[in-house]
Each structure stands twice: as C-alpha cells, then as structure tokens.
Chains A and B, each alone.
Chain A
C-alpha cells in the first residue's frame, strides 16, 4: 500500500485530526490559567463528580432491584445516595450555567461547547423525570398521572408514554443516561480543545 493510499484512509485522517485538535498536553494539561483560581470554576467539576456518584449508585440499584431499595436498610441508603447525588448534580450544574452565562462563555469559538452544555442540561432533566416515574411507589404514580396530560398535549405521548413503566425505566437506565454521559464527554473534550474562556478585558479609562 502506497503512502498516499494510507494518508487517504479514514482511520489515518481521523487520527491526524484528533491529534491536531486535541494534542496530549491539551487533553491532560499540567496547569490552568491564573483566572481559573476562583470558586466559580469549581461547579463544573462538582457536576462531573456528582454525575459519577449518580451513575455508580444507579448501577447498584439496577443490580439489586426495587424490592431491595424499598425494604432493606442498605437499599434505602443507596436509593437516597442516588437521589441526593442528583440533587447536588443539578444544584452545581445550575450554578455552573449561571457562571458561564454571565462570562458569555460562548466567546472565542466556544459556541458548540455552550450548546452541548445546554443540550446536556435538557437531557439531564428528562433523565431525572423518567427516574421520578420509575421509583415504583405512590410518588411515581402521582407524578406520571400528573405529567401524562401535559406530555400528551404536545403529541410526544404517541412514542413517550409516561404511564408505561417498562418504557420509562428503559429510557431512565439506558437511553437517557447514555446520551447524558456521551454529551458530557463531548462537552468536556470541547472545553479541553478550546480552553477555559478568559475573563472580559478590563476597560482602560481615557485620560
């Protein structure tokens, strides 16, 4: 195979593109700019950490099942861990969103980073919602019966039936978490590729 043919392979082209846009020193940097030393930059990482706990506690809940999380002491603990890590996840993500909004973090060619963050936020809301209707208790029955009319009025009820427990559980433990994790990974890689948005430049008063 000639070198020209090798250069035209999609694997070669993809490797070169990835290496160009995300070299190792950008992927795992040694230092960050001085302006990153602020508490407002901590909430993105807090969101990621909470997501890790959400996924891990979700794995345990999936392994053991509803009878376990409703009746045993450890089951109650892991169920609560899942709930409270979701609370922290949203708490930190909303503050992260506020911070990035007021920094206009879409500046400098970072519009797709902002957009992936917004889509991840919306996906997370859908994931949390399907979790609430999959609890297998009176709370989930109440939420699903209250939500059905609103969702059916949009037309989405034809393929997304909140009264169908099996469907809601599958959306909650397969489709939506997969989407949320992939979107989060893409979002973080974009932050790595473009770097953290710098602060606005200070205006120098004319004398």
Chain B
C-alpha cells in the first residue's frame, strides 16, 4: 500500500521527460536534483546553526 502510494507520487514507468533549450538537453529528474542542490547550498549558508551564538550576542 505504502509502496503504491510512493510510486504514484512520481511515475517512473515510461520514457524520461527532457528539458530542451538551445543546446541544453537535460532530463527533468537531473534538473530537479541540480535545483535541490542549489536550494541546499543556499540554505546551508543562511540557516542558523544550532548552538552558534549570533554576532550581536557575542558583542
């Protein structure tokens, strides 16, 4: 049951879907992973780290 619910979220049963723009040709799956990496990178720069005191507190 849980497996079929997960499978329904993104159907991988078929040919892949591709993003075309000029010479760029990339699958939406790979594009999604790259977008998630950018999101994780930006979040890592700005998300507060537990236990770290801010600059205001240290002054």
Interface residues of A (CB under 8 A from B): 34, 37-40, 42-43, 87, 91, 94-95, 98-99
Contact = CB atoms under 8 A, between A and B. Distances in A.
B37 interface: yes
Given A39-B43, A99-B44, A94 B52 contact: no
14 contacts: A34-B52, A37-B51, A37-B52, A38-B52, A39-B44, A39-B45, A40-B41, A42-B44, A43-B44, A91-B36, A95-B37, A98-B37, A98-B41, A99-B41
B49 interface: yes
Nearest to B47: A39
The 8 A-B pairs of least Cβ separation, nearest first, read A39-B44, A37-B52, A40-B44, A37-B49, A95-B41, A38-B49, A39-B47, A98-B41
A34 B58 CA distance: 12
- The number of chain B residues touching the other chain, given as a range, is 10 to 19
B33 interface: yes
A38 B48 CA distance: 7
| A interface secondary structure, majority | helix
B44 A91 contact: no
B7 interface: no
A43 B47 CA distance: 14
Contacts of B36: 91
B37 A91 contact: yes
Contacts of B33: 87, 91
B37 to A, nearest CB: 6
A65 to B, nearest CB: 25
B59 to A, nearest CB: 14
A38 B44 contact: yes
A40 B36 CA distance: 15
Contacts of A99: 41, 44
A42 B47 CA distance: 12
Given A95-B44, A99-B44, A39 B37 contact: no
